[in-house]
């Protein structure tokens, strides 16, 4: 239960920053800030200035145009847990320069270095989505590519790093024949000399194609792009021309602005985003993976489901999934992809938890089956496909 702060400092600050009303045009960013009650109003004002002008208000406001158009405003301070406040700051959208990298800078550039601050939430005005179009395909588009309606999708993962293309293609064939909807590269499969990207893509596409001739149903093989932007653009181009229809990208490793660039390519492919390098201690997961990842162009977002070998709780997972799937006037909903050490035995509970609009990613635990990999995958496919068709959750 949020208790709103009506202390005199806060009111004074709001009064002093009597700017032209811009509420509908503002970025609204919420931080959790650790501070004493007596200091929070001043701390919030400093945080607001830190993210844009990096000067005290009086100095920045020497230029009246800056004062009128660039200075933000502390919008709300609410007590959160003991010693922590939820501080909502309104920053003019103009500060973001119509650019995804600069938007990150305004949201959490310098403040990410301040240990008393956690990025908790972000809301953008409609105009931001003129230059942040979001997912290319989204849930509906990926469903169309996979030919699946009304039930969750199943994704399996090719691993371990170290296998050569023919071995991965053989695994890919097993998963495809068993009925996996997506077969993705592990995000650690790079352009290794022992398993070059091109050879892997060709071998795995061939395996999927051959399986499709026998089963009548084509799995989506989703290769992993990793490298510098130049290398990843080459990988994307090769994959598209070879017939790939979606790719894996780890945007925190390779840069969130580059995710946006890939997602905005006229001839690009839908993107399944992996959270590697996302080190989330100081940003809440629903804001980073649920909002920013989607807005920057992820069609599906992998995240560790509660209870695996990572640490997210069920509330975090539910909030993250809700953000990804939430209705938005400009941005397509994206698939949540719970993963991270999910045991086959937990699948029923997961399907209930997430409902039909999710991609269930089962990686390592299938491999425990050894020679029974096909059968184990087949069982899993049956479990997922018999899930009652339900209205897609929006």
Q: Which is nearer to a second copy, 86 or 159 (CB)?
A: 159
Instruction: Give the footprint of a second copy on residues 313-372 (CB under 8 A).
Output: 363-364, 367-368, 370
Q: Which is nearer to a second copy, 60 or 318 (CB)?
A: 60
Q: Does 254 bind a second copy (CB under 8 A)?
A: yes
Instruction: Give the footprint of a second copy on residues 279-298 (CB under 8 A).
Output: 279-283, 288
Q: Which is nearer to a second copy, 143 or 282 (CB)?
A: 282
Q: Which of 9, 14, 25, 70 binds a second copy (CB under 8 A)?
A: 70
Place of tokens 């020497």: 62
Q: Which of 78, 212, 242, 253 binds a second copy (CB under 8 A)?
A: 253
Report in angstroms how near the CB of residue 22 gets to a second copy at its nearest. Answer: 14
Stretch that binds a second copy, among 11-19, 61-69, 147-155, 347-355 (CB under 8 A): 61-69
Report in angstroms how near the CB of residue 388 gets to a second copy at its nearest. Answer: 32
Q: Does 302 bind a second copy (CB under 8 A)?
A: no
Q: Which is nearer to a second copy, 95 or 174 (CB)?
A: 95
Instruction: Give the footprint of a second copy on residues 20-59 (CB under 8 A).
Output: 46, 50-56, 59
Instruction: Give the footprint of a second copy on residues 114-153 (CB under 8 A).
Output: 114-116
Report in angstroms how near the CB of residue 245 gets to a second copy at its nearest. Answer: 23
Q: Which is nearer to a second copy, 22 or 69 (CB)?
A: 69
Positive/negative CA dihedral, 310, 356, 145, 166 = positive
Q: Which of 19, 80, 190, 344 binds a second copy (CB under 8 A)?
A: 190
Say if CB 236 and CB 212 are below 8 A apart: no
Report in angstroms how near the CB of residue 75 gets to a second copy at its nearest. Answer: 20
Q: Which of 88, 174, 180, 250 binds a second copy (CB under 8 A)?
A: 250
Instruction: Give the footprint of a second copy on residues 364-383 (CB under 8 A).
Output: 364, 367-368, 370
Query: Residue 209's closest CA among 186, 236, 177?
Result: 177
Q: Does 222 bind a second copy (CB under 8 A)?
A: no
Query: Residue 130's closest CA among 298, 329, 325, 272?
Result: 329
Say if CB 232 and CB 262 are below 8 A apart: yes
- Residues 87 and 2: their CA atoms lie apart, in Å, by 11
Instruction: Give the footprint of a second copy on residues 193-212 (CB under 8 A).
Output: 193-194
Q: Which is nearer to a second copy, 4 or 277 (CB)?
A: 277
Report in angstroms how near the CB of residue 115 gets to a second copy at its nearest. Answer: 5
Report in angstroms how near the CB of residue 7 gets to a second copy at its nearest. Answer: 23
Instruction: Give the footprint of a second copy on residues 75-114 (CB under 8 A).
Output: 94-102, 104-106, 108-114
Q: Does 172 bind a second copy (CB under 8 A)?
A: no
Q: Which is nearer to a second copy, 112 or 385 (CB)?
A: 112
């Amino acid at each position: 239960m949020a208790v709103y702060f009506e202390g005199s400092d806060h009111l004074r600050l709001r009064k002093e920053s009597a700017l032209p009303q811009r509420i509908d045009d503002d970025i609204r960013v919420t931080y959790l800030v650790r501070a004493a009650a007596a200091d929070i109003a001043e701390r919030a004002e400093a945080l607001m200035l830190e993210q844009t002008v990096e000067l005290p208000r009086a100095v920045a406001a020497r230029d009246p145009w800056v004062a009128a158009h660039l200075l933000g405003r502390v919008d709300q301070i609410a007590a959160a847990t003991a010693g922590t406040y939820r501080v909502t700051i309104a920053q003019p959208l103009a500060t973001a320069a119509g650019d995804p990298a600069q938007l990150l800078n305004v949201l959490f550039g310098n403040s990410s270095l301040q240990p008393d601050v956690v990025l908790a939430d972000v809301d953008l005005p409609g105009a931001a989505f003129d230059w942040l179009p979001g997912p290319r395909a989204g849930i509906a588009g990926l469903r169309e590519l996979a030919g699946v309606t009304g039930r969750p999708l199943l994704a399996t993962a090719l691993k371990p790093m170290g296998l050569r293309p023919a071995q991965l293609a053989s695994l890919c064939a097993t998963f495809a024949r068993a009925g996996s909807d997506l077969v993705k590269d592990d995000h650690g499969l790079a352009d290794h000399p022992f398993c070059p990207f091109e050879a892997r893509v060709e071998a795995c596409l061939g395996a999927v194609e051959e399986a499709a001739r026998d089963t009548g149903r084509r799995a989506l093989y989703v290769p992993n792009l990793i490298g510098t932007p130049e290398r990843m653009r080459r990988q994307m181009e090769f994959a598209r021309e070879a017939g790939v229809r979606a790719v894996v990208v780890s945007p925190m490793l390779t840069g969130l602005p580059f995710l946006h660039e890939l997602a905005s390519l006229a001839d690009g492919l839908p993107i399944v985003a992996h959270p590697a390098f996302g080190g989330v201690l100081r940003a809440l997961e629903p804001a980073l993976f649920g909002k920013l990842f989607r807005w920057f162009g992820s069609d599906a977002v992998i995240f560790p489901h509660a209870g695996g070998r990572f640490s997210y709780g069920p509330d975090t997972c539910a909030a993250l999934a809700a953000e990804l799937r939430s209705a938005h006037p400009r941005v397509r909903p994206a698939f949540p992809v719970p993963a991270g050490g999910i045991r086959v035995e937990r699948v029923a509970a997961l399907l209930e938890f997430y409902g039909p609009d999710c991609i269930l990613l089962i990686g390592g635990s299938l491999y425990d089956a050894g020679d029974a990999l096909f059968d184990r995958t087949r069982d899993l496919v049956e479990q997922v496909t018999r899930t009652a068709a339900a209205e897609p959750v929006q």
